[in-house]
Amino acid sequence: MGIKVAVIKESGAQERRVALVPSVVPRIAKLGCDLLLEPVPERLLPTLTPVTRM
């Protein structure tokens, strides 16, 4: 079982940045991490790894 890495949505009204972008996901996975994400529009999700809806 991998390390669970959660990425939270930013709550600041003027904050438009995110902590993780799709291009970095494969390298995070290579470290042995499972990503946990808050719901976002599906079009923004990377297609590099299968998404499991819980």
Partner 1 sequence: MSIQPDKTAMLNAADIVLAVEPPELDVVRAMKPGSVLVSFLYGRNNIELVKALRDGKITAFAMEQIPRISRAQAMDALSSQATLAGYYAVLLGSVSMPKILPMMTTAVGSLRAAQVLVMGLGVAGLQALATARRLGAITEGYDVRPETRDEAHSLGAKFVETGVDATGQGGYARELTAEEKAKVRAVLTDHIAKADLIVTTAAVPGRKAPRLIDAEQIARMKPGAVIVDMGAEGGGNCEGTKAGETVKVGPTTLIGPVNLPSSLAEQASELYSKNILNLLEQIIKDGKVTLDMTDEVIAKTLATHDGAITAEPVREAVESPPAGQPVVPEAASVSPTPKG
* Contacts with partner 1, residue ranges (CB under 8 A): 2-8, 10-12, 14-21, 23-25, 27-29, 31-39, 49-54
Smallest distance from partner 1 to CB 11, Å: 6
- Which residue in 24, 44, 41 sits closest to 33, CA to CA? 24
Smallest distance from partner 1 to CB 37, Å: 6
For residue 29, give both structure tokens: 């996975």
Smallest distance from partner 1 to CB 25, Å: 7
Long-range pairs, 18-25, Cβ under 8 A, ≥24: 22/46, 22/48, 25/49
